[in-house]
Structure 1
Amino acid sequence: MAGWFERIKQGLSRTSAPIVRGISDLLTKRRLDKEALQDLEDLLISADVGAKTAAELTKALADEKFDKDVDEIEVRTFFADKITEMLSPFAEELKIDPTKKPFVILMAGVNGAGKTTTIGKLAHKYKEQGLKVRLAAADTFRAAAVEQLKVWGERTNCPVISRPQGADPAGLVFDALKESKAENDDVLFIDTAGRLQNRSELMAELQKIVRIVKKQIPDAPHACLLVLDATVGQNALSQAKTFKEMVQVDGLVLTKLDGTAKGGILLALCREFGLPARFIGVGEKIDDLRAFDARDYARSLMGLADKEAL
């Protein structure tokens, strides 16, 4: 899928450009000595891959190449292969179980991370697969969020369950589940609030929503996706920690990878929390959100060409 690879590569260019430039500058000046390895480690940390991962990558490089003449492509390829190995266990696309009707997906994340847009793009993806999809606007405190979801509903031809601003989110979810079951939907997305400034209130609200869901469908939500904005860098780690304490997050969606030099944060997130990366977003178009592929991500991060296209 060379076309999608090129979009990932372009999307990650703000992150890969300084890495490529930095490795090139380092390795045209000297051999792979201790100082060069330290500089490489610092370069990886600056892309937000995490200090532990950066240390592991440079140690692995040192074990094989220390005090040898290496060129920049060799080093970037080495890092890309190691990152692919590290991330492959976390590259799990979300599979919709056809025996669960509806398959309930709870979406969590701070306001502005791209939750509602992600729902719209995923709704489009599943509709294209012939699935019957419904959207529940449970972020009832923000009128803009409800309106945005309605726009996505019209755009994807998916019904949207909404209530007036300030309505009880759990009550809305109860109605949405009842209607979704009656209509034999394949997928029900639940958009939720992300007011981290009122953490205890938000936690109580999300947990109440989960209780309501379980009363109607005991094994639901069948998925809980945490949507994170790549442009916030290290703050994504604290957001993930907070939401994991609130709900049973079982997958990550990283948006806006095209708008940051901190695209390595996905590596840090997956490894620190042991959560699979379900989807990544590299643009605003409706099909700019795709299932995460470890090799494509790693090679793009290192500014390399698509192996399959070579």
Structure 2
Amino acid sequence: MFRRRRRDEVAADPDTSTDAPGEAAGGSDPQPAFDRPLFAGFDDDDPDAFRPGDAEARLEHGLERTRGGFMSRLRDYLGDGPGGPAWDDVEETLIAGDVGAALSMEIVERARQRRDPGGAEAAVRAELASLLVPRGGAWEPRSAAVGRPAVVLIVGVNGTGKTTTIGKLAARYTAEGRTVLLAAADTFRAAAIDQLLIWADRAGVQVVSHAPGADPGAVVYDAIDAAVARGADLVIADTAGRLHTKSSLMDELSKIRRIVDKRLPGAEPETLFVLDGTTGQNGLQQAKAFHDAVGLTGIVLTKLDSTAKGGIVFAIEHDLAVPVRFVGVGEGIGDLLPFDPDAFVAALFA
């Protein structure tokens, strides 16, 4: 069934969120609704938001606070003064930049032993770059077989920018020519579906939803069915924001993964954890818990432009061995950037 919603029927703030109260209620699930957006495109944003040449400039601009924060102090301490680099201060600065205590010690120790011809700064830069997970070229969600959609599950705690991330991903992939379908599998909050509709409306994509309180797994199953029927090649599923300490909700994520496997045998859905870059090491602990529970395949690091401690990127990839897939460096629709390790390190030291 298709239904339209007016803008005055949806929540005013797409980022407002509260903790999920608990498990979905029992009983039979309603038939899914297929929500068609009122218009396509981001008429309030730069129409050239996804031009490849803009990514480097956006990244440098988004890392201004980090460059002016711990990176500025780091480079001062790495200077070749009369006494040489102040290694103790370098270590403390890395820790303050959310790199982590143990890892900072390792970086300093290895950098001191490198004796890089470019000096101490070049040695530390090389050590930081070596922490990032190797990439095999540009990443994109891939389906298990021709004619089947790729599936991306978006997970995380509330308040990290999960819904905004979904909207920006939908817009990016739509601009690249993909047919995207969203699954409103956060059924614990009545406003969650409406919030997702706002972003679907802006991105020009459709949403599969059930009534509040429905089984999230059923929503994802129906979304995959709809994607197959309509020839969509990418399903992005919202999931209820949850604390990593809520075992019942973490179990639900595992159930959704099993449902995807049942509907698309052999599929390997991407599970992206949205991490607020301003939460630092606390966010890293949350990501570890999610990774242990459901097996993350990537990280979306949001609000990186709002922190002066961009070192969390290195801690994430070193501690989890899970690649950062996207970084959020601004509020614009084109400010969710595919993560390029070389470009990131270069922007830090620019």
Tell me which moved more, 264-273 or 207-216: 207-216
Corresponding residue number in structure 1 for 2:306: 259
Deviation at 1:252, TM superposition (A): 1.1
The question of whether the paired residues in 2 share the 8 Å contact of 1:253 and 1:279 is answered with: yes
Runs of 5+ unmatched residues, structure 1: 305-310
Q: Does 1:283 pair with 2:330? A: yes
Whole-angstrom CA distance in 1 between matches of 2:184 and 2:96: 38
Change (3 A) 1:229 1:20: closer
Which residue identity lines up with residue 22 of structure 1 in the other structure? R
Tell me which moved more, 122-131 or 6-15: 6-15
Runs of 4+ in 1 over 4 A off after TM superposition: 90-93
Corresponding residue number in structure 2 for 1:104: 151
The question of whether the paired residues in 2 share the 8 Å contact of 1:91 and 1:278 is answered with: no
Corresponding residue number in structure 2 for 1:173: 220
Corresponding residue number in structure 2 for 1:308: none
Whole-angstrom CA distance in 1 between matches of 2:166 and 2:75: 40
Aligned residue among 160, 172, 175 for 1:125: 172
Corresponding residue number in structure 2 for 1:301: 348
Runs of 5+ unmatched residues, structure 2: 1-51
The question of whether the paired residues in 1 share the 8 Å contact of 2:133 and 2:323 is answered with: no
Aligned residue among 104, 110, 115 for 1:54: 104
Q: How well do the aligned residues superpose, as a CA RMSD in angstroms? A: 2.4
SS at match of 2:248: helix
Change (3 A) 1:6 1:268: same
SS at match of 1:130: coil
Deviation at 1:20, TM superposition (A): 4.1
Whole-angstrom CA distance in 2 between matches of 1:88 and 1:208: 28
Change (3 A) 1:280 1:20: closer
Whole-angstrom CA distance in 2 between matches of 1:122 and 1:113: 15
TM-score (norm 2): 0.77
**Mapping of residues 90-239 of structure 1, within 5 Å:** 93-97=138-142, 99=146, 101-196=148-243, 199-239=246-286
Corresponding residue number in structure 1 for 2:292: 245
* CA offsets 1:1-52 (integer angstroms, 9 cap, x no match): 664223222222222213344245544764226xx11111111111011223
The question of whether the paired residues in 1 share the 8 Å contact of 2:115 and 2:123 is answered with: no
Change (3 A) 1:210 1:96: closer
Deviation at 1:273, TM superposition (A): 0.9
* CA offsets 1:162-213 (integer angstroms, 9 cap, x no match): 1222222112122212111111210001110122176112112212212222
* CA offsets 1:38-80 (integer angstroms, 9 cap, x no match): 11111111101122332233223322459x9x9xxx5444433
Whole-angstrom CA distance in 1 between matches of 2:247 and 2:82: 54
Whole-angstrom CA distance in 1 between matches of 2:178 and 2:74: 46
The question of whether the paired residues in 2 share the 8 Å contact of 1:224 and 1:249 is answered with: yes
Percent identity of equivalent pairs? 42
Q: What number of residue pairs does the alignment pair up? A: 296
Deviation at 1:262, TM superposition (A): 2.2
Deviation at 1:256, TM superposition (A): 0.7
Change (3 A) 1:255 1:142: same
The question of whether the paired residues in 2 share the 8 Å contact of 1:210 and 1:221 is answered with: no
Which residue identity lines up with residue 240 of structure 2 in the other structure? A
Corresponding residue number in structure 1 for 2:130: 85
The question of whether the paired residues in 2 share the 8 Å contact of 1:92 and 1:277 is answered with: no
